[in-house]
Amino acid sequence: MTKANAVVAITKHGTAIARRLQAQLPDVDVYYPEKFAYGDEAERGITTYEGSVVAHVPTLFHAYSGLIGIFSLGAMVRLIAPLLKDKKTDPGVVVIDDRAEHVISVLSGHLGGANDLTRKVAAALGARPVITTASDVGETLAVDLLGRAYGWEIANFEKVTPVSAAVVNEQRVHIVQEAGERDWWTYDKPLPPYLHVFDNTRDAMQEPFDAALVITPRLLTDEETRVLLQNGVLYRPKVIVLGIGCNRGTPADEIAAVVEETLKALQLSPKSIRNVATIDVKRDEPGLLEFCRRYNVPLVTYAAEELNAVEIPNPSETVYKYVGAYGVSEPAARLSSGASSWVLEKRKSGNVTVSVCLVPQKAAEIAGATPSLAAQGARSFGSDVEVRP
């Protein structure tokens, strides 16, 4: 169980197909009956089994992100039926017929990756991919996959199914994109007329619609939530960069409390944090590392000379005395995000200093929100915060 996907065969022909797949796809582990062994299984890293495949499928189902069965669709359905949980956790399941003429996506076509796996396996075998997901067949937007390649998070997954129905039934769908990557439409044809893209919620809410997709790092107002998310999906793009400085030994709980309070005052969602940035002497700071682990974000560090190359309005001789840089959180946030300014230049609370930047091309797409967010943050924090528009 060393690869992403398992290929399991039960017949002589299926065994030959499994070996072909292993030769062409680097991310598959192969399993087939001992009675069809070629004798080179140990050398090729292939696992053989005795008895019925029924005893092995549950283990493979739970151990791999993709399960490829070289047997009938009906047999696969019966084998996996007792194992199914939900589309967010079930692996992608694919079947191949015994002559490798068709490759069929069976389960978790989108989130589990079965549709992509089907295409990849079919290409390797010269077979015909069979995909029945409505959005794929209709070459339209897949609600549960939008922005997934960029790390976007869905904040209200319970709305995916009804909104997906609106998309495939070609109802009026408003896409409100205030931030995030713009190249999410992957088909070589224009966006269909029932999908309308807006840069802000105000304009989107002035026209009638049946469903909505909202892409923003911003905390929505009660009115926006009521109107847009009644039948809408909320996506959190990864566009927030946190510059963080802290005293040695500062616990993760304190860092988290300051960050959460800061983002709440700025009306930004923690789910849109892309990464944390700091000085390299803090690369092994336990509290900072634990904070990053909790939020599942990377820690990016810079040498003091790199930080000093960034002009900041309020350089600190005290900070320079201890770490060799005139500032930590402010220049680190700028360097990591590539932004020319801050949403929040600096806020110091207890042992923690936080600066907030938005990745520049995304910040520009927030339709003038950055200055107002900064101003709101200044009012909320009082005198211990410095804000630059």
Mean pLDDT of 262-290: 97
The pLDDT of residue 242:
98
Each residue of 182-205: pLDDT tens digit? 989 988 899 999 999 999 999 999
Burial environment of residue 388 by CB neighbours within 10 A (0 to 12, 13 to 18, 19 or more)? middle
Each residue of 327-371: pLDDT tens digit? 999 999 999 999 999 999 999 999 999 999 999 764 333 333 333
Each residue of 293-315: pLDDT tens digit? 999 999 999 999 999 999 999 89
Task: Name the more confident of 38 and 1.
Answer: 38
- pLDDT of 58 above 60: yes
Q: Which residues contact 84 (CB under 8 A, 6 or more apart)?
A: 90, 107
Give the number of other Cβ atoms within 10 Å of residue 48's Cβ. 16
Is residue 327 within 8 A of residue 314, CB to CB? The reply is yes
Structure-block tokens of residue 239:
């566009």
The pLDDT of residue 87:
81
- Give the chain's length: 389
69-89 core/surface letters (b: 16 or more CB in 10 A; e: else): bbbeeeebeebbeeeeeebee
Each residue of 125-177: pLDDT tens digit? 999 999 888 767 777 889 988 998 899 999 999 999 999 999 999 999 999 99
Burial environment of residue 39 by CB neighbours within 10 A (0 to 12, 13 to 18, 19 or more)? exposed
The pLDDT of residue 308:
96
Q: Does pTM surpass 0.85?
A: no
**Which residues are registered as beta bridge partners of 129?**
103
How would you classify the pairing of strands 92-96 and 28-33? unpaired
Report the chain's mean pLDDT, rounded to a whole number.
90
Residue whose tokens read 């040695």: 248
Each residue of 92-133: pLDDT tens digit? 999 999 999 999 999 987 778 888 999 999 999 999 999 888
Is residue 4 within 8 A of residue 65, CB to CB? The reply is yes
The pLDDT of residue 389:
32
Alpha-carbon distance of 301 to 103, in angstroms, equals 46
213-249 core/surface letters (b: 16 or more CB in 10 A; e: else): bbbbbbebeeebeebbbebbbbbbbbbbbbbbbbeee
Structure-block tokens of residue 194:
């029932």
The pLDDT of residue 99:
94
Which is nearest to 250 in space by CA: 383, 348, 358?
Answer: 348
Per cent of the chain over pLDDT 70 is 92
The pLDDT of residue 2:
75
Cα–chain center distance at 350 = 32
Q: What is the dihedral of CA 111, 116, 117, 119, to 10 degrees?
A: 160
User: What is the CA angle 80-86-92, rounded to 5?
Assistant: 55
Per cent of the chain over pLDDT 90 is 81
Domains (ranges, CATH) in the chain? 5-132 (3.40.50.11220), 148-236 (no CATH), 240-386 (3.30.420.180)
DSSP one-letter string for 44-69: HT-EEE-S-GGGTHHHHHHH-SEEEE
The pLDDT of residue 1:
66
Alpha-carbon distance of 278 to 327, in angstroms, equals 10
